[in-house]
Amino acid sequence: MTLFQTSGPDTNLEQLPLMPPAELRRRWRAGEDVALLDVREEGPYSLSHPFFAVSLPLSQIELRILDLIPRLTAPIVVYDDGEGYAARAVPRIRALGYSDVSILEGGLAGYARFGEVFRDVNVPSKAFGELVEAVRHTPSLSADEAKALIETESNLVVLDARRFEEYRTMSIPRGVSVPGGELAFRAREIAPSADTTIIVNCAGRTRSIIGTQSLINAGLPNRIYALRNGTIGWTLAGHQVERGKAARFLERPQTSYAAALADAKAWAERVGVKLLDRTAFDRLRAEEDQRTLYCLDVRTPEEYATSHPDGFVSAPGGQLVQATDEWVGVRGARLVLFDDDGVRARMTASWLVQMGWDASIVGPDVVAPSETGLRIARRPAVPDLGAAAIGADELAAHPSAWTIVDLTRSPVYKAGHIPGAHFVLASRFAEDLAKLPGDGAIVLTSEDGAEAALALPDARATTARDVRVLVGGTRAWAASGRELDRDQMSWISNADDVYKRPYEGTDNAAQAMQAYIDWELQLVAQLANDSVSNFHVV
């Protein structure tokens, strides 16, 4: 086996195994379990990464990896672009119990000699959406055409396929929030007449395309169109969006349910979606130490919180298709989807199967909902801080004695931080802690204190200054009745930890929105060049 020789406090002169890019790509084509983790921050990741790479920054490993990669024996490959993060990530991942961890040989540059590298985030889902439109010729309307219909056609509904939070931020006239995974379940109830025109919109392109095609696949006889380029296209055309709307359809279908279920069954059978009985599901559970298994509840978050099966994670169907890599870190894994109606899981699984996933479905006859509330992310136990712990009262009593370092993601820091706190990325302690003012003790904080506690050893290894941790983090400070600062900011680290999506929010530059649409339109060609997707559009 090829080995990577490295040294430093994290690696202890350890020889780390290397994964050749050609072998990684072979595993993808063969459908074998393998996770590729980009341990840079999300900003650099969004500029260039392999097709199935998942963003998991070095500083976020302990906070996210246990859910992202539930099987401790799953093969994990990490990479960077020469910054040294990968060598630091391997021992941290192994310390959590993972046994098969290697570094991508040559890093990002080495991979680029073998395969395509892609921009943006959630690329497999977006590329798949473009392929669906190319193969199925999904009908769409330009912003001007849609606006004309909205203004003149009374027998028309506009279904917004995004998350409700995105819809609330901005929407187009007459829009009703029906997230993508809900469309085939609810659309007949909203538009009971076959004569009703349906327009499906999202922020950009993918969820409009997939949502529209879902309704066509589900057998609706209506005229159904995607809003071409979504709210981006609407805005670029000079049309006004509405803000703060709350129209949503959450009622369970009644008169249309039988038709929705029959058509979903027919389509899922045609695509090859497997329905698991108790014996088959138990077999997958028994084999989850050999092949990675994700159990996902595709209903609404509200339904999940009310009641869900034990061991299932909330993954609303539309978002799961749109951003699979936010829940599933292991390409080649098995996915089992749950609903209590038989429509949503089937329609969601039908897309995932076409995306090359081994996706099956179960219902309440196999896994009865028994748990309530939202599931808490799995994390390792926060280490005992001992004398390094400091409370909000002590921090506030002597503010000039401390240099506060905030490790939260940059949008959270910007939204409100402890007065005087400096923004620093934990992955860049070696370069950036030395830039802090003063020479007294440093106090690390993060949103709930967990990331700060986990970062303590790294901080101590890179500075001679005393380092403490705020117990409970910034939330504890705010809970004690103290104000957060939203005006004065100190950016010690470059805030490239979060990629600003040009299709979310209301303050995006026209140039960025147009560039995003142009990028999406060339994904099919890039997908063909790369040849590792295993996509097949039925």
CATH of the domain at 150: 3.40.250.10
Which of the listed residues 250, 283, 301 is the one where a domain comes to its end?
250
**Are 140 and 115 in the same domain?**
no
Task: With a cut of 90, say whether residue 508 has pLDDT above it.
Answer: no
276/189 same-domain check: no
Question: What is the rounded distance in angstroms from the CA atom of residue 260 to the CA atom of residue 354?
Answer: 21
* 207: confidence class by pLDDT, cuts 50, 70, 90: very high
Considering its fold, how many domains does the chain have in total? 4
Whether residues 456 and 412 share a domain: the answer is yes
| Whether the Cβ atoms of residue 157 and residue 85 lie closer than 8 Å to each other | no
Same domain, 65 and 39: yes
86-132 pLDDT tens trace: 999 999 999 999 999 999 999 999 999 999 999 999 999 999 999 99
Calculate mean pLDDT across residues 65-91: 97
Indicate if 22 and 104 belong to the same structural domain: yes
Regarding whether 7 and 80 lie in a shared domain, the answer is yes
Which pLDDT belongs to residue 9?
A: 40
Last residue within a domain, chosen from 121, 148, 167: 121
Mean pLDDT of 388-410: 95
- The residue with tokens 């977006």 is 126
Q: Tell me, yes or no, whether 537 lies in a domain.
A: no
Looking at the fold, whether 71 and 87 belong to one and the same domain comes out as yes
Q: Per the domain annotation, does 158 fall within a domain?
A: yes
pLDDT at 270 over 50: yes
Would 189 be classed as within a structural domain?
yes
Structure tokens at 15: 């020889």
Question: Quick check: 93 and 34 in contact, CB under 8 A?
Answer: no
Residues 344-394: tens digit of each pLDDT: 999 999 999 999 999 999 999 999 999 999 988 999 998 899 999 999 999
> Do residue 242 and residue 131 come from a single domain?
yes
> In this predicted structure, what is the pLDDT of residue 4?
47
Residue 485 has pLDDT above 60, yes or no: yes
pTM value?
A: 0.94
pLDDT score, position 14: 55
Please tell me whether residues 89 and 175 are part of one structural domain: no
Buried b (16+ CB within 10 A) or exposed e, 167-194: bbbbbbebbbbbbbbbbbbbbbbbbeee
Q: What is the mean pLDDT of the chain?
A: 95
Distances (CA, A) of 17 to 3, 72, 105, 233: 4, 17, 9, 47
Q: Is the per-residue pLDDT at 10 higher than 60? A: no
Tell whether 538 is covered by a domain.
no
Structure tokens at 329: 């870190």
Based on the domain organization, do 159 and 63 belong to the same domain?
no
Q: What is the pLDDT at residue 2?
A: 52
Residue 90 lies in a domain: yes
What are the tens digits of pLDDT across the range 24-52? 999 999 999 999 999 999 999 999 999 99
| 389 three-state secondary structure | strand
Does residue 225 fall inside a structural domain? yes
What is the band of 482 on the pLDDT scale with cuts at 50, 70, 90?
very high
Residues 96 and 146 in one domain: no
The pLDDT confidence band at residue 7, using thresholds 50, 70 and 90, is very low
Structure tokens at 18: 């290397």
pLDDT band at 6 (very low <50, low <70, confident <90, very high): very low
To 10 degrees, the CA torsion angle through 141, 147, 153, 156? 60
Assess whether 296 and 346 both reside in one domain. Answer: yes
Q: Is residue 517 part of a domain?
A: no
Reported for 146-151, long-range contacts at CB under 8 A and 24+ positions apart, including other chains, are 146/172, 146/199, 146/201, 146/225, 146/227, 146/228, 146/234, 147/173, 147/234, 147/237, 147/239, 149/197, 149/199, 150/174, 150/199
Provide the domain limits for residue 438: 386-491
Tokens 């060339």 found at: 522
The helix/strand/coil state of 493 is coil
Final residue of a domain: which of 470, 491, 512? 491
Is residue 519 situated within a structural domain? no
**What are 289-327's pLDDT values in tens digits?**
999 999 999 999 999 999 999 999 999 999 999 999 999
